[in-house]
Amino acid sequence: MKPIIQLLHFGYHQAMSCIFPVAIFGTLALSSVFQFPYIYRYDAILLILLAIQCIMLRSGLETWDEIKVICLFHLIGLMLEIYKVHMGSWSYPEPGYTKILGVPLYSGFMYASVASFMCQIWRRLRMDMTGWPGMVPSFLLGGAIYLNFFTHHFIPDFRWWLTALVFIVFWKTWIIYRVRSATYRMPLSLAFIIVGFFIWLAENIATFFNGWKYPDQHDSWQLVSFSKISSWFLLVIISVIIVAQLKYVKANRAVK
């Protein structure tokens, strides 16, 4: 009976940590079915997501520190979106006033939702890590991963070399998490893979509801390429590196 109770508690905290990602995909789904009067769909989505963030902050579901991380990831994601749309990797074909260089501002929230999940689950499961490689190696690797998203259009794609480096740099790193009074642990690299896979599933939902479109989805929707899992795997690493480092900085300040 105890394993079932533990699983239910774990599932509850996972679900609560997914409130903002679920809100995003729920908004995409509903807005693809119901038309908003007097406002473009992309603009309406942005207003709804801003309202949800305000509600989560006022209700205590998110803290100001978590909002700051979310804003940082919104900016990181928006910069990547602008570049990728410019390079023709995907597109946002619908009109909207809140578009910058062809990219709606709400798109940054899809990246920020990953940060929201990371912050929430870290707090709810009282997470910690052992064997963290430190700020310099982790940030250099995270920076190289982010840069590769831009440079692979002009020079060879180093994602598989970077993936190998991830396993090397983080091979001693384990996530420590707590469910009620019990403590568990998991290799960090495995967590990267699991989260990347679920983001790929969410991406299929988003493209199905016309959140954005890849070039091969303009005529009819089809499954997003499995190769995108590796992209999300690498992107998750960037989010974990930033969130983990900020948590450590905050913890050290509290001790001092």
Whole-model pTM?
Answer: 0.78
d(CA 20, CA 248): 24
Cβ(244)–Cβ(139) below 8 Å: no
d(CA 197, CA 229): 6
- Convert the chain into a string of H (helix), E (strand) and C (coil): CHHHHHHHHHHHHHHHHCHHHHHHHHHHHHHHHCCCCCCCHHHHHHHHHHHHHHHHHHHCCCCHHHHHHHHHHHHHHHHHHHHHHHCCCCECCCCCCCEECCEECCHHHHHHHHHHHHHHHHHHCCCEEECCCCHHHHHHHHHHHHHHHHHCCCCCCCHHHHHHHHHHHCCCCEEEEEECCEEEEEEHHHHHHHHHHHHHHHHHHHHHCCCCECHHHCCCCCCCCCCHHHHHHHHHHHHHHHHHHHHHHHHHHHHC
* Domains of the chain: total: 1
Going residue by residue through the chain, which has 256 residues, state the pLDDT in tens, using 9 for 90 and above: 777 888 888 888 888 888 888 888 888 878 877 787 889 989 999 999 999 999 999 988 888 888 888 888 888 889 988 988 888 887 888 888 999 998 999 988 888 888 888 888 888 888 888 888 877 888 888 888 888 888 888 888 888 888 888 888 888 889 888 988 889 888 888 887 887 787 777 777 777 776 666 766 666 777 776 667 777 777 778 877 777 767 665 555 554 5
d(CA 130, CA 28): 38
Residue range(s) defining the domain that contains residue 199? 2-255
Q: Which residue, chain included where needed, has tokens 């006022």?
A: 58
d(CA 247, CA 128): 9
Cβ(94)–Cβ(28) below 8 Å: no
